[in-house]
Amino acid sequence: MLTFLPDLPVILAFTLAAWLLAATPGPDMTLFLARTLSSGRAAGLMSLAGASTGTMVHTALAVLGVSAIIAASATAFTVLKLAGAAYLLWLAVEALWKGSSFTPPDQAKKGRRVVSLKRAFMAGIGINLLNPKIVLFFMTFLPQFVSVDDPQAAQKMAFLGLYFVVVCAPPLVVLIFAAEKFSAALSRNPRIGRIIDYLFASVFAVFAVRILFEEGR
């Protein structure tokens, strides 16, 4: 018997909550869309894979209690905030300065850089690992679906963390496919691509500022 599996009502409630959270715009969703518009569906999917990998790392840290320690330590949390904000600001500056982060693939073939799959994957990992909101999310969200007195609490948290990645993947993949269709419009009108450069750079910058003002528990 799989004792680490939560009860069906818990799984259903967690699934609904996970879908709602996945639909909430954030720096990771911004990255998925940016990479898809710039370098195609494969880059968007690799960014999603990287972010999912970062999510699994945070799941392991939450189960081990490291995330709670980071959130409780003012110094550790501040360092994480600064690193996360700096990373998002770097993505914003890169989009404006190099002007290639959101370039359609056919234009990139004419001399402008396309983000490699490896780089897209690593960007996905970085945007999740360096986001203190993810630390707080896994420290506060997962325990709501597990009883503290449950002897299988750690195993159930680990399962829910991995389940979160699996259940959120389909709607995000659909979003990436939809963004790929939109990239055709960028190919026909290069000015749209530059507007999106500024739009996504602004979003990254806003999230960076929000991260700086995020408080630990």
In-domain check, residue 8 = no
- Say if residues 44 and 183 touch (Cβ distance below 8 Å): no
CA separation for the pair 91, 78 (Å, rounded): 20
Number of Cβ within 10 Å of residue 164's Cβ equals: 25
- Amino acid identity at 52: S
What pTM was estimated for this model as a whole? 0.72
The rounded percent of the chain whose pLDDT value lies above 90 is: 13
User: What is the number of domains present in the chain?
Assistant: 1
In-domain check, residue 19 = no
Q: Which of 107-111, 139-143, 149-153, 165-169 has the lowest mean pLDDT?
A: 107-111
The residue ranges of DSSP E strands in 61-199, in sequence order, are none
Burial class (CB in 10 A: 0-12, 13-18, 19+), 74: exposed
Which H helix or E strand runs over 7?
A: none
Tell me, what's the pLDDT at 169? Answer: 92
CA separation for the pair 217, 215 (Å, rounded): 7
| 191 has a pLDDT exceeding 60 | yes
pLDDT in tens, 91-135: 788 777 765 444 444 444 444 445 688 999 999 999 888 877 777
Q: What is the pLDDT averaged over residues 127-147?
A: 77
In-domain check, residue 20 = no
Range of the domain at 200: 27-212
In angstroms, how far apart are the furthest CA atoms of the chain?
Answer: 61
In this predicted model, which residue has the larger pLDDT, 185 or 118?
118
In-domain check, residue 173 = yes
In-domain check, residue 11 = no
Nearest to 99 by CA among 87, 89, 112, 117: 112
In-domain check, residue 2 = no
In this predicted model, which residue has the larger pLDDT, 169 or 193?
169
In-domain check, residue 7 = no
In this predicted model, which residue has the larger pLDDT, 11 or 183?
11
| 3 has a pLDDT exceeding 90 | no
Average pLDDT taken over every residue of the chain: 78
Angle at the Cα of 196 from the Cα atoms of 198 and 129, rounded to 5 degrees: 80
In 181-206, which positions are buried (b, 16+ CB within 10 angstroms) versus exposed (e)?
A: eebeebeeeeebbbebbeebbebbbe
In this predicted model, which residue has the larger pLDDT, 123 or 138?
123
Tell me, what's the pLDDT at 100? Answer: 45
pLDDT in tens, 26-62: 788 888 888 888 788 899 999 999 999 998 998 888 8
In-domain check, residue 36 = yes
Q: Tell me the backbone φ, ψ of residue 213, rounded to 5 degrees.
A: -100, 5
